[in-house]
Amino acid sequence: MYDEYFGQSHIMLRESVRKFIAKEIAPYVDEWEEEETFPRELYKKAGNAGFLGLGFPEEYGGSPCDIFHEVAYTEEIMRCGSVGLASSLGCNAIAVPPILAVGTKEQKQKYVPPVLAGDMIAVLGVTEPSGGSDVANLLTRAVRKGNKYIVNGSKTFITSGTRADYVTTAVRTGGPGHKGISLLIIEKGTPGFSVSKKIKKMGWLASDTGELFFEDCEVPVENLVGQENQGFYAIMLNFQKERLYLAVEAHAVAEIALEESIKYARQRNAFGRPLVGFQVTRHKLAEMATLVEASKQFDYRVAAKISNGQDAFKDVCMAKNFATTACDKVVYDAVQIHGGYGYCREYMVERLYRDSRLFSIGGGTYEIMNEIISKQMKL
Ligand SMILES: Cc1cc2nc3c(=O)[nH]c(=O)nc-3n(C[C@H](O)[C@H](O)[C@H](O)COP(=O)(O)OP(=O)(O)OC[C@H]3O[C@@H](n4cnc5c(N)ncnc54)[C@H](O)[C@@H]3O)c2cc1C
């Protein structure tokens, strides 16, 4: 199935991710979720396995591949038992691309290889306490003084933000609106940069989510990524893949929830027969399977479009909204099929239900996706 997208090399990648999960994550993941963290060394192990470099250029320590290797990796890593852990481990995938797209050679050499090797953690800082959807009106201000930018403001909800080595940070260097935004690389330890809090969340427990604070933070001008006041375009470029991968994460989580539900419905008895003996359960499972299948097919088509260099701006937003809505319904029904056990931490579907709630919020909300789709429809 899906032979038109996945070949032998994708199957081999899937196997190596599964082995990595079995050895390095599965035995500990429940403990890490309870502790609300995971060991930093996991980045190094994932780097050594080549996972952090997937899709990045070889000269900076990456392993170039096609888009379906990245899709296959994303689907498989969702099987680690914690969407938060998988997302934290993958935070480089949104922090590094702007540097590679518009950064200088020196920035690429200094900031990319250590991240792909798992020696450094890079994160993307766009969202602010005052709002995340309206990126064009962000408030964090950077004023140039000699060979430094003086940064004042804050960022919130930053994945892996509490232990990041640097933040690819969106700041306002110019006037109002999207034409006044630049990107700065702000390193941990820069005077005036602090982590103001680790945020307590509904799900993604193993992932640290930070609120960051900049007070007269002095950033060298050579850390400007791309041209001054052109940062918005680099952020938008990033969103295309981030949204596709959120859609893929959603269909992968829905598929796991479906598998768990089938297993449970086969072995759990009620009124003297297994749950699959009730037509209502079978139909629920049939609907869940249909939603999973439709999301996968759509996400793969959109990935193929991007891979062929076709415009998929609208499609990516549609795929994200479709897959995340489908996932919401599937995880809801998965908990329902599990009854009271579905509400308990020992059962995988309980975590999937909490973790997946973020899919229609992060990387652009459901409403913002619809806004983009409707604009593209030129109504
Ligand atoms: C666990 C987690 C991890 C995250 N990781 C990162 C990260 O690594 N880096 C980063 O920069 N950000 C990150 N985010 C932030 C995320 O991208 C934002 O939460 C998201 O973009 C929404 O912004 P907001 O929370 O400020 O909501 P708001 O923008 O305040 O929106 C609130 C509500 O209003 C709606 N709304 C807003 N504008 C409109 C409109 N024009 N029309 C209709 N409805 C509208 C929204 O859809 C939403 O329902 C993360 C968030 C979480 C919770």
Is the CB of residue 360 less than 8 Å from the CB of residue 258? no
* Contacts with 363 (C-beta within 8 Å, 6 or more apart), sequence order: 239, 242, 243, 246, 320
Given this model, what pLDDT does residue 3 score?
84
% helix / strand / coil in the chain, to the nearest 5? Answer: 55, 15, 25
Token pair, residue 264, equals 């449970």
What spacing in Å lies between the alpha carbon of 199 and ligand 1's midpoint? 15
Ordered DSSP codes for 247-294: HHHHHHHHHHHHHHHHHHHHH-EETTEEGGGSHHHHHHHHHHHHHHHH
As assigned by CATH, the class of the 233-376 domain is mainly alpha
What spacing in Å lies between the alpha carbon of 361 and ligand 1's midpoint? 6
| Residue nearest atom 11 of ligand 1, based on CA coordinates | 126
- In the chain, list all ranges with CATH 2.40.110.10: 122-228
- The matching CATH number, chosen from 1.10.3330.10, 3.10.20.30, 1.20.140.10, 1.10.540.10, for 8-116 is 1.10.540.10
Mean pLDDT of 77-100: 97
The 10s digit of each residue's pLDDT in 298-319 is 999 999 999 999 999 999 999 9
As assigned by CATH, the class of the 122-228 domain is mainly beta
What spacing in Å lies between the alpha carbon of 368 and ligand 1's midpoint? 9
Q: Is the CB of 215 under 6 A from ligand 1?
A: no
- In the chain, list all ranges with CATH 1.20.140.10: 233-376
Which ligand 1 atom sits nearest the alpha carbon of residue 368?
47
Residue 34: pLDDT above 80? yes
Q: Is the CB of 159 under 6 A from ligand 1?
A: yes
Residue whose C-alpha is closest to residue 255's, from 348, 363, 320: 348
Active-site residue, 41 included: no
Exposed, middle or buried: residue 345 (CB in 10 Å: 0-12, 13-18, 19+)? exposed
Could you give the CA distance from residue 56 to residue 257 in angstroms, rounded to a whole number? 31
Q: Is the CB of 371 under 6 A from ligand 1?
A: yes
| Alpha carbon distances (Å) from 172 to 150, 179, 182, 222 | 11, 9, 6, 17
Q: Tell me which of 70, 76, 128, 242 is the catalytic residue.
A: 242
Q: What type of residue sits at position 309?
A: G
2 confidence band (pLDDT: 50, 70, 90) = confident
- In the chain, list all ranges with CATH 1.10.540.10: 8-116
Given this model, what pLDDT does residue 1 score?
67
* Contacts with 334 (C-beta within 8 Å, 6 or more apart), sequence order: 257, 258, 260, 261, 288, 342, 349, 352, 353
